[in-house]
């Protein structure tokens, strides 16, 4: 039996500059490549759900500007249902200025329409959810809306997954309505106050049922109750890590919604995320289920 995955979150236009190094303060350097593509943690996770064969519902906001129209059209090309993607009058679409050096990225985000998505829209969106459906959310929309929608999702008997990215929007009350939390290393440190990642995972698991900390090329740590397990990651040639975490979250949620166990879902999500880092960009780097299943991986 397949449950639905409800993703609420951001859509951004990503302006990606590739360079050999970061410029110093006051310095201008030449880039080695440029991409303009759709992204945003919400949209990336939604596409990852679809590409992993999940039944998806998606809610987001775009501006009434030229990027807004392009973003909605791109989502449709990726077979994301845009019924709940609102064009918010008087706003600009979310923009991410991304610099990629040696495969790693640095991002400055302009929230735009993402920040105008309100709790009412989220509530209306979740009214269609049934008990057992999955709610997947990140933190590129207003923290108050995240909190309200996590509460609504729990009231509706959904399984809630929080990807606390970016961590600056995290509020500890969110944990009370979260079943599974998926931070990366830096986010786990930031929200737990613990430097050691295992300690951070254990501390979070005192409040949240299941904790998965993604640790880049080292894989991830899964903590549930007293047990803590490390999952090494497949080895790949890294081109661009943008959207790797989103691919993990979306692929994981899709797998869970299709009845796989948490550990099985982690195994699949790691493979999907590993393939995502072998390509540039956000949405366009997310692999389909058939690509994941036909690839032979070398585990580190």
Render the burial of 62-101: b for 16+ CB within 10 Å, e for the rest. Answer: bbebebbebbbebbeebebebebbbbbeebbbbbbebbbe
Which residue(s) pair with 38 in the sheet?
A: 13
Residue in 202, 201, 139 with CA at minimum distance from that of residue 171: 139
Q: Is 265 in the site for ligand RIB (CB under 6 A)?
A: no
Q: Which is nearer to ligand RIB, 158 or 165 (CB)?
A: 165
Reading the block at residue 118, the tokens are 């309100």
Binding segment for ligand RIB (CB under 6 A), chosen from 35-43, 61-69, 121-129, 173-181, is 35-43
Q: How far is 167 from 182, CA to CA, in rounded Å?
A: 11
Q: Is 12 in the site for ligand RIB (CB under 6 A)?
A: yes
- Residue among 4, 6, 8, 14 that touches ligand RIB (CB under 6 A): 14
Binding segment for ligand RIB (CB under 6 A), chosen from 22-30, 37-45, 115-123, 214-222, is 37-45
Q: How far is 124 from 75, CA to CA, in rounded Å?
A: 21
Q: How far is 230 from 224, CA to CA, in rounded Å?
A: 12
Q: How far is 281 from 24, CA to CA, in rounded Å?
A: 24
Q: Is 45 in the site for ligand RIB (CB under 6 A)?
A: no
Active site residue 14: no
- Residue among 39, 61, 111, 219 that touches ligand RIB (CB under 6 A): 39
Q: Which is catalytic among the residues 14, 133, 240, 246? A: 246
Residue in 292, 225, 240, 283 with CA at minimum distance from that of residue 264: 292
* Burial (CB count <10 Å: 0-12, 13-18, 19+), residue 120: exposed
Mask for 110-149, x = binds ligand RIB (CB under 6 A): ------------------------------x---------
Q: Is 289 in the site for ligand RIB (CB under 6 A)?
A: no
Mask for 175-214, x = binds ligand RIB (CB under 6 A): ----------------------------------------
Q: Which residues are catalytic?
A: 246
- Residues lying near ligand RIB in the complex (CB under 6 A) are found at 10, 12, 14, 39-41, 44, 96, 107, 109, 140, 242-243, 245-246, 282
């Amino acid at each position: 039996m397949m449950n639905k995955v409800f993703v609420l979150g951001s859509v951004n236009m990503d302006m990606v500059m590739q360079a050999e190094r970061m410029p110093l303060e006051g310095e201008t350097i030449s880039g080695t490549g440029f991409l303009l593509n759709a992204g945003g943690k919400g949209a990336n996770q939604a596409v990852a759900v679809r590409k992993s064969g999940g039944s998806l519902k998606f809610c987001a906001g775009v501006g009434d500007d030229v990027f807004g129209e392009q973003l909605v059209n791109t989502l449709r090309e990726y077979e994301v249902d845009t019924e709940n993607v609102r064009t918010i009058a008087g706003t600009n679409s979310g923009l991410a200025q991304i610099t990629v050096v040696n495969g790693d990225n640095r991002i400055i985000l302009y929230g735009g329409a993402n920040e105008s998505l309100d709790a009412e829209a989220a509530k209306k969106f979740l009214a269609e959810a049934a008990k057992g459906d999955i709610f997947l959310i990140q933190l590129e929309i207003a923290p108050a809306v995240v909190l309200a929608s996590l509460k609504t999702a729990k009231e509706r008997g959904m399984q809630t997954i929080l990807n606390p990215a970016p961590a600056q929007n995290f509020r500890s009350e969110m944990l009370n309505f979260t079943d599974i939390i998926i931070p990366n290393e830096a986010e786990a440190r930031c929200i737990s106050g613990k430097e050691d990642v295992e300690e951070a995972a254990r501390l979070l698991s005192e409040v949240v049922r299941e904790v998965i900390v993604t640790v880049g090329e080292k894989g991830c740590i899964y903590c549930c109750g007293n047990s803590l397990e490390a999952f090494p990651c497949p080895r790949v040639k890294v081109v661009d890590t943008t959207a790797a975490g989103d691919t993990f979250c979306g692929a994981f949620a899709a797998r869970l919604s299709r009845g796989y166990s948490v550990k099985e879902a982690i195994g699949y999500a790691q493979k999907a995320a590993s393939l995502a880092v072998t390509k540039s960009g956000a949405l366009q780097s997310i692999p389909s289920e058939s690509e994941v299943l036909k690839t032979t991986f070398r585990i580190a």
